[in-house]
Amino acid sequence: MAAAGQRLILAFDYGTRRIGVAVGNELLRSARELPPLTARDGIPDWNVVSRLLSEWQPDLLVVGLPLNMDGSESDMSIRARKFGNRLHGRFGKPCEMVDERGTTREAKMIAREAGHKGNYRQDSVDGIAAILILEGWFAHQEGLPGGRLSL
């Protein structure tokens, strides 16, 4: 495993139909979107996840936690935690949960500014949301405003 500050990180925006994925480099503090994972009722094809982790060899996994605006748990946050626990259990990689409140709304705004027509079922913004989750994690590590707390 790489030392803190030099890790390769995969971030996930958990969803019941799709799971957004982004990869980032802690040293450069940069992230980019990867193709989303298809999920069936929130369960991905674990063979595809295994191939993804084999290809990228991440040192850390980050999963967005969709809390309610008041900070309380939601049904989706419980499912996202379960997904994070399964990632850790299946692949033995450290997995951090990160407050993702507002990332989907921000991802849609970014997509609209880039010319997205608004059909999010057909052309999802899950990867953009995963980038935002990871960028928020980076900011938190630096103690910068906009950083998302690891929970």
- Quote the CA–CA distance of 85 and 96 in Å, as a whole number: 9
**Domain-embedded: residue 13:** yes
Helix (H) or strand (E) holding 103: helix 103-113
Provide the whole-model pTM: 0.84
Q: Are 140 and 148 in contact (CB under 8 A)?
A: yes
Q: Flag whether pLDDT at 21 surpasses 90.
A: yes
**Domain-embedded: residue 19:** yes
pLDDT digits 0-9 by tens, 64-97: 998 888 888 999 999 999 999 999 999 999 999 9
Please enumerate in sequence order all residues whose Cβ is within 8 A of that of 62, keeping only pairs 6 or more positions apart, or say none.
9, 10, 11, 12, 95, 96, 97, 98, 133, 134, 137
Among 79, 17, 10, CA closest to 51: 10
What pLDDT sits at residue 44? 97
Please enumerate in sequence order all residues whose Cβ is within 8 A of that of 112, keeping only pairs 6 or more positions apart, or say none.
118
Mean pLDDT, rounded, for 110-114: 68
**Domain-embedded: residue 68:** yes
What pLDDT sits at residue 119? 56
**Domain-embedded: residue 58:** yes
What pLDDT sits at residue 145? 61
Q: How many domains does the chain have?
A: 1
Indicate which CATH number applies to the domain containing 61.
3.30.420.140
**Domain-embedded: residue 74:** yes
**Domain-embedded: residue 98:** yes
**Domain-embedded: residue 90:** yes
What pLDDT sits at residue 151? 46
Domain that holds residue 130: 8-142
Q: Are 139 and 148 in contact (CB under 8 A)?
A: yes
Q: Are 111 and 77 in contact (CB under 8 A)?
A: no
**Domain-embedded: residue 102:** yes
